Amino acid sequence: MKRFLSLSIALVFALPAGASAKRLDVKEITSNSVLTDAEKGIVYGADNMLDEQVATMWVEGEGSAGLGKYIEVQFDGDVELAKIRIWGGCFIDQEFFERHNRLAQIELKFTDFTSQKFDINDEMTPQWLELEEPKSVDKVKIYLRRVHEGNTWNDTAISQIQFFDKGGPTEWIEGMSATASSEYPDENNAYGAHLAVDGWLDTHWVEGAASGDGEFIDVDLGGSKSLSKFAITTGFDTTDGLFQGNNRAGKVTLAFSDGSTQKFDLADSRGLQVFDLKPVTASKVKVTFSGIRKGKTTDDLYIGEVRFAP
Ligand SMILES: [Ca+2]
Ligand SMILES: [Ca+2]
């Protein structure tokens, strides 16, 4: 069996206590410097910072580290910007993180001509940057000021960026952990159950039994939580071809730790599918898959993300 995904990701996100803010919608994100790999046909554009994929990133296109270049973020109207969470490097794995430049300092410039600088630690974890006080803005420019130098390439990467206001509920519960009925064996643990709750759409749990029918993921919510929404991606949904090539789930059953269950039919499509839950309070959820739709090339079920919202 051929495996296409070579990411060996063992990210455990250290999620700080600041995770209780509402995410702000970005209308457009651009940069005045973008790396293009003409040979491979890859553009490391700024929108790669919004796609929730760990394997895609913005990279500045200068021969240098890109200091002085900027990213421009246009929000969907006026927002109260209070916090930024940034993955300021290449987050594919620790080796690639160290080979590229990582952010050491950025400067935010606002349309009222004020600005604020932020120092960023050289750690492979998303970092929270808090404004001195929340600011009403419709756009912001983010300038590269200093980097931690890569040991191989003088290229500065940002894998993901998110913007938040001060209050409001978290969109999805973070800091969940997971185990599974089986895992596709891999020495780098590249298909483990933790990859179904890591926040990245392009990392997947893959079962290690037969077709995936009756296989399950046990999700630990990290404490008793009131739940109102459930979301899931099914299949190897990075591309249409990979999606068709591998098994997808057609049905999912959620068994909550309070003893109740809820069932959902899944569309046979790529991307996040979001469902309203009948209100339920639980600390754990067993997520069981059935109604398997068979792939053209392998008989393995892929699940990219399982999410719950308060
Ligand atoms: Ca990305
Ligand atoms: Ca994932």
160 C-alpha to ligand 1 centroid (Å): 5
Which of 109, 105, 106, 38 lies closest to 73, judged by CA? 109
**Between 20 and 281, whose confidence is greater?**
281
Q: pLDDT tens across 206-245, in order?
A: 999 989 999 999 999 999 999 999 999 999 999 999 999 9
Ligand nearest to the CA of 195: 2
The C-alpha atoms of residue 204 and residue 234 are separated, in whole angstroms, by 9
199 C-alpha to ligand 1 centroid (Å): 11
Determine contact, residues 90/35, Cβ cutoff 8 Å.
no
pLDDT of residue 9: 42
The C-alpha atoms of residue 130 and residue 219 are separated, in whole angstroms, by 30
306 C-alpha to ligand 2 centroid (Å): 8
54 C-alpha to ligand 2 centroid (Å): 9
pLDDT of residue 42: 94
pLDDT of residue 189: 83
Report the alpha-carbon angle 273-279-280, nearest 5. 100
The C-alpha atoms of residue 306 and residue 310 are separated, in whole angstroms, by 14
Compute the average pLDDT of residues 6-13.
42
155 C-alpha to ligand 2 centroid (Å): 26
86 C-alpha to ligand 1 centroid (Å): 11
Q: pLDDT tens across 57-76, in order?
A: 999 999 999 999 999 999 99
Where in the chain are all domains bearing CATH 2.60.120.260?
A: 26-164, 177-309
48 C-alpha to ligand 1 centroid (Å): 4
Residue 13 clears pLDDT 60, i.e. is over it:
no
pLDDT of residue 22: 77
Asked if the 26-164 domain carries CATH number 2.60.120.260, the reply is: yes
**CATH number of 177-309, picked from 3.20.20.10, 3.30.70.360, 2.60.120.260, 3.30.70.640:** 2.60.120.260
pLDDT of residue 21: 62
- From the number of C-beta atoms within 10 Å of its C-beta (0-12, 13-18, 19+), residue 174 rates as middle
299 C-alpha to ligand 2 centroid (Å): 20
Q: Which amino acid is at 228?
A: S
Ligand nearest to the CA of 231: 2
Mean pLDDT of the chain: 92
Residue 250 clears pLDDT 60, i.e. is over it:
yes
256 C-alpha to ligand 1 centroid (Å): 32
pTM of the predicted structure, to 2 decimals: 0.83
Paired strand residues for 70: 143
pLDDT of residue 144: 98
